[in-house]
Chain A
Amino acid sequence: MAEASGRAGPSLRYFCTAGRGLEPFLLREVRARLGATQVEYVSGKVFFTTNSELSKLKTLKSGERLFLLLKKHAPISLSSNKGKVFHEIQKLVIEDPRCWLDIVSKWKHLHGNKVKQGNISKENPKSLKRKSEEEISIITKKQKREQILETVSDECHMEEQKKTVVLETNNDMDLLSENKTFPEETSESRIEKSVESNKDSFSFRVSCRCSGTIAKVFTSQEVGRVLGITLIKQLGWKADLRNPDLELFVHLNDIYSVVGIPIFRLPLATREYIQTAGLRSTVAWAMASLAEISAGAFVLDPMCGLGTILLEAAKEWPNVHYLGADINDSQLQGAHENIKSAGLMDKIELLKASVIALPLPSESVDIVISDIPFGKKFKITKDIKLLPNILREMERVLHVGGTVVLLVSQDLHKHIGGCISNCVESDTSLNATSDNKNGAAVVKDLNPKEKNGSPRSISSSIQGVETEHFNNKITCFGSLAVVESYGVSLGKTDAFIYKYRKIPAAGMQ
């Protein structure tokens, strides 16, 4: 582990959650951006070590929530004796209380020892996040599904959110039976309290999640309660459900027992520079990261909507000419507002144009990135017939060797499979199989989930199994050859990121 240098802090261990399908991107990113070491992916979390400063950590683009690792243990051993299990949970605190205090002081140090109010991340009051992960402002909740990502309400400063916190925590008052007086305290006294408090007195809130076997026996609420009480007794901390100094996040499942402290109040996906979000920023960034954007490139999003993809790309790769096109005035207006508030007016230009009739010469664009809107909010209708025209026009304007990165809904994905194999049939100069079944099979293999059914083993997609499939069968649309593909979750729906490259048309047309 690197020694603490003048500017970077001490090496600390973190874990970061990621939306399903984005794990390989996050793994790549922590290494590339933070020089992270000891990087590992276990059951929905990427664990890593780095000495990066807070401001650098904040620039992670493909992760959901970042936590300072407090404890990572083998799973709690279950026995029929409930008391025994509670004891196991208590042991998390009791066996090494110094570890807790130690990590807390590291967390404070990371945040420059400032009071929690208004120091960590600026909130954008106008942001309307597309609700792709369930955001629950609750302390504990019984989990039924493994993959729900929980975001504890961070917007305590905002009026509406405050009400939500109070409402939902009313039920949980018995969680901390010994401390019923807290809700009455105002935020001013909260600050005073934190300022006055020494290292030993600290206010906290536990957010607990149980999944797997343990969830069948205990509620997250019960676990949270046990832990809360143990912390109060052992460390003299105080509980505060509304505006604690510290949040603790506990996740118990069949694979591990993890405790962490969230680094930021808002999810990483909430970008300060995006006013009105369209596509989830993490997915948009991931798409841009696949597109091979280099300095001096000309990048087009011919169905740009609110411009999220272009915004993410322009922030990361600024020395590039970006052009967004859309047929809808209100979308263009929204994109314009977004671009303006992000300060990217010099980088991104807009155009009112149709994706099936682009006012651009052939082979004039280096990169096309787009979120194809069909089949997400609405059922696919006749629009699907336009798909070949859309792909054809994208292909036309693209330079040979250029890349196309598309986000395609699950419904549309099935149709694309059809498109691709259809074109393969008529294409004799390419060494490809021509029956529908093969085309569909290739596409299907891309999503490892369909192989094992249950929680995907991530290792196969990390190693880029998808790419292997395409070596043998060139799956093409015209001269667009699929390079790789990733199944991702958009929260309520699933989608696929496709990457194509325009290959030289060998003696055709």
Chain B
Amino acid sequence: MKLLTHNMLTSHVRGVRPGGGFPLRIQATEVKVNNVDFNQEFVARMIPKVEWGALLEAAESLGHLSDLPHQLPPEYENNEDFLRKVHHVLLEVEVMEGILKCPDSGREFPITKGIPNMLLSEEEET
């Protein structure tokens, strides 16, 4: 599970307050770092879709915050240096084994071989 995907995931357990299921807290037991080809345009397009605070939080919990700024720099689209850092965090860091924890309910979703299991039991479904 890459952090780009993590940034899209939310807990959907019954009873969770609206917005309370995001972002899922990561407890990783195995993290992999891959080499992914850098595509400037792609990264620039992803940034507006990403919840920046959640991304920073997730990166930090994995020890890959590096020196990402708390605020988006102005005109980041042309800031290759910045975009490369974002690229690294979004696409190159991958959680292979671990747990995603709903911040509201505490429900844990396991990650196995890079694939998070988000299935709910019938009682948990909204």
| Chain A residues in the interface with B (C-beta under 8 A) | 295-296, 298, 319-321, 323, 327, 332, 336, 345-346, 349-354, 357-361, 364
26 contacts between A and B (CB under 8 A): A295-B41, A295-B42, A296-B42, A296-B45, A298-B8, A319-B41, A321-B46, A323-B8, A336-B115, A345-B34, A346-B36, A346-B37, A346-B91, A349-B1, A349-B4, A350-B115, A351-B5, A351-B115, A351-B118, A352-B116, A353-B118, A357-B125, A358-B12, A359-B109, A360-B8, A360-B10
B34 with A346: CB separation less than 8 A? yes
The residues of A that contact B125 with a CB separation of less than 8 Å are: 357
Question: From residue 26 to 85 of chain B, which have CB atoms closer than 8 A to chain A?
Answer: 34, 36-37, 39, 41-42, 44-46, 49
Flag if B115 contacts A332 (CB, 8 Å).
yes
CB distance from A374 to the nearest CB of B (A): 19
Q: From residue A321, how far is it (CB to closest CB) to chain B in Å?
A: 6
Closest chain B CB from A383 CB (angstroms): 16
Minimum CB–CB distance for A44 against chain B, Å:
40
Which residues of chain A have C-beta atoms less than 8 A from B22's C-beta? 361
Partner-A contacts on B (CB < 8 A): 1-2, 4-5, 8-12, 22, 34, 36-37, 39, 41-42, 44-46, 49, 91, 109, 113-120, 125-126
- B39 (CB) vs chain A CBs: closest residue: A319
Bound CA–CA A402/B120 (angstroms):
27
Known: A295-B45, A346-B34, A359-B9. A321 touches B115 (CB 8 A): no
Pairwise interchain contact A361-B10, C-beta atoms closer than 8 A: yes
Chain B residues with Cβ under 8 A from A346's Cβ? 34, 36-37, 91
- In the bound complex, residues from chain B placing their C-beta under 8 Å from that of A332 are 115
**B9 — which chain A residues lie within 8 A by C-beta?**
351, 359-360
Nearest 9 interchain pairs by C-beta: A296-B45, A359-B118, A353-B118, A352-B117, A319-B42, A349-B5, A346-B36, A350-B115, A361-B10
Shortest Cβ distance from A76 into chain B, in angstroms?
Answer: 55
Shortest beta-carbon distance from A252 to chain B in Å: 51
Contact of B41 among A296, A350, A359, A364 (CB under 8 A): A296
Complex Cα spacing A298 to B90, Å: 14
- CB distance A327 to B46 under 8 Å? no
**Chain A neighbourhood of B36, CB < 8 A:** 346
Chain B residues whose CB sits within 8 angstroms of the CB of A345 once the complex forms: 34
Q: Report which residue of A298, A357, A360 has the largest number of chain B beta carbons within 10 angstroms of its beta carbon.
A: A357
Q: Is the CB of A349 within 8 A of B2?
A: yes
Q: Which residue of A has the minimal Cβ distance to B46?
A: A296
Cα–Cα distance between A62 and B59 once the two chains are bound (Å): 41
| Pairwise interchain contact A327-B41, C-beta atoms closer than 8 A | no
Report the separation of the CA atoms of residues A298 and B9 in the bound assembly, to the nearest whole angstrom: 13
- B119–A354 CB distance below 8 A: yes
- Is B91 a contact partner of A352 (Cβ separation < 8 A)? no
- Minimal beta-carbon separation of B120 from chain A (angstroms): 6
Q: What's the Cα separation between A107 and B106 when bound, in Å?
A: 66
Taking the closest CB of chain A, its distance from the CB of B102, in whole angstroms, is 10
Known: A296-B46, A346-B34, A358-B12. A352 touches B119 (CB 8 A): yes
Which of B2, B34, B113, B119 is close to A353, meaning CB atoms less than 8 Å apart? Answer: B119
- Distance in angstroms from B99 CB to nearest chain A CB is 14
| Distance A327 CA – B118 CA, assembled complex (angstroms) | 9
Closest B residue to A298 by CB, please name it.
Answer: B49
A320 to B91, CA, bound (A): 12
Q: Which of B37, B114, B119 has the most CB of A within 10 A?
A: B119
Q: Is the CB of A352 within 8 A of B8?
A: no
Given contacts A319-B39, A359-B10, contact A351 B116 (CB under 8 A): yes
In the complex, what distance in Å separates the CA atom of A327 from the CA atom of B125? Answer: 15
| Distance between A301 CB and nearest chain B CB, rounded to angstroms | 14
Residues of B within 8 A of A349 (CB): 1-2, 4-5
Q: Does the CB pair A323–B12 fall under 8 Å?
A: no
- List the A side residues contacting B109 at CB < 8 Å: 359
CA distance A364 to B5 in the complex (A): 12
CB distance from A355 to the nearest CB of B (A): 11
User: B4 — which chain A residues lie within 8 A by C-beta?
Assistant: 321, 349
Name 12 extra pairs, CB < 8 A, besides A296-B45, A358-B12, A361-B22.
Answer: A319-B42, A323-B8, A336-B113, A336-B115, A345-B34, A346-B37, A354-B120, A357-B126, A359-B9, A359-B11, A359-B118, A364-B8
Q: Whole-angstrom distance between the alpha carbons of A267 and B91 in the complex?
A: 35
Find the residue from A349, A357, A359 having the highest chain B CB count within 10 A. A359
In the assembled complex, the Cα of A488 lies from the Cα of B1 at a distance in Å of 35
Q: Name which residue of chain B comes closest to A321, CB basis.
A: B4
Complex Cα spacing A364 to B119, Å: 19
Distance between A318 CB and nearest chain B CB, rounded to angstroms: 8
Q: Which residue of B lies closest to A354 (CB)?
A: B119
Give the one of A323, A345, A352, A358 with max B CB within 10 A.
A352
Q: Which chain B residues lie closer than 8 Å to A296 at the CB level?
A: 41-42, 44-46, 49
Q: Which residue of A lies closest to B122 (CB)?
A: A357
Give the distance in Å from the alpha carbon of A321 to the alpha carbon of B113 in the complex. 19
Of A323, A345, A349, A364, which is in contact with the most chain B CB atoms at under 10 Å from its CB? A349
Residues of A within 8 A of B114 (CB): 350
Q: Which of B1, B5, B22, B120 has the most CB of A within 10 A?
A: B5
Q: Is the CB of B42 within 8 A of A327?
A: no
Closest residue of chain A to B5 (Cβ to Cβ) is A349
Distance between Cα atoms of A296 and B45 in the complex (Å): 5
Tell me the smallest distance from the CB of B67 to a CB of chain A, in Å.
Answer: 24
Point out the residues of chain B lying under 8 angstroms from A359, CB to CB: 9-12, 109, 118
Which residues of chain B are near A353, meaning CB under 8 Å? Answer: 117-119
Q: How far apart sit A112 and B68, CA to CA, in the bound complex (Å)?
A: 52
